[in-house]
Structure 1
Amino acid sequence: MTNGRGWGSYLLVLAGAAAGLGAIAMGLPAWAGSLIVAFSVLFGAVLRLLAPGDRETMLATRDRRTDAIVSGVLGGVMTVVALSVAVQWVMGRQ
């Protein structure tokens, strides 16, 4: 069971997802909201990697490094997809 420490990276990703969806709901293009979500996942991966090793987290079954790598790959893929959509959106507007 966790003791309340080590939740920072997860809360950051949750807040970033809410901010990205909120940005889309406010009228920003979908690629902009997707970039917000992708950057929050990438930053959450960095925070997860830099968290002290003695901190317990929600995920007791995975290693801290494994969790950071998986989150980093997911954030990277999301960033590439969002940027490719952004380029197509900008090229279509000209």
Structure 2
Amino acid sequence: MTNGKAWASYLLILAGATFGLGAIAMGLPAWAGSLVVAFSVLFGAVLRLIAPDDRESLLAVRSRRTDAVTYGVLGGVLTVVALSVAVQWITGRQ
């Protein structure tokens, strides 16, 4: 039987993506919702990296480090894109 804490990083990313996309659907600017998604992915990468070995993954084909690097790169790219859209939105160059 697996421990529920092994799913913490995955569930955090799913919750952050749901909240960010839901906020966009409710009328929040796209850059703000995208930042919520990006930060949840980055925080998920940190959680995945610091997970203890006995709870590291439910997937035997990927390592903890691979997941953390993948999440970190994806979160970094999402952050850069969201901030570039935010700068354009704030300055009025939509």
Q: TM-score, normalised by structure 1?
A: 0.91
Structure with the larger helix share? 2
Q: Which residue of 1 aligns with 2:66?
A: 66
State the distance in 2 between where 1:44 and 1:74 align: 11
Runs of 4+ with >4 A deviation: none
Q: How does 1:1-94 map to 2 (within 5 A)?
A: 3-5=2-4, 6-92=6-92
State the distance in 1 between where 2:32 and 2:41 align: 14
Letter in 2 for 1:3: T
**Unaligned 5+ runs, structure 2:** none
1:60 to partner: Cα distance: 1.5
**Unaligned 5+ runs, structure 1:** none
State the superposition RMSD in angstroms: 1.4
Letter in 1 for 2:48: R
Q: Is the 8 A contact 1:16 1:37 kept in 2?
A: yes
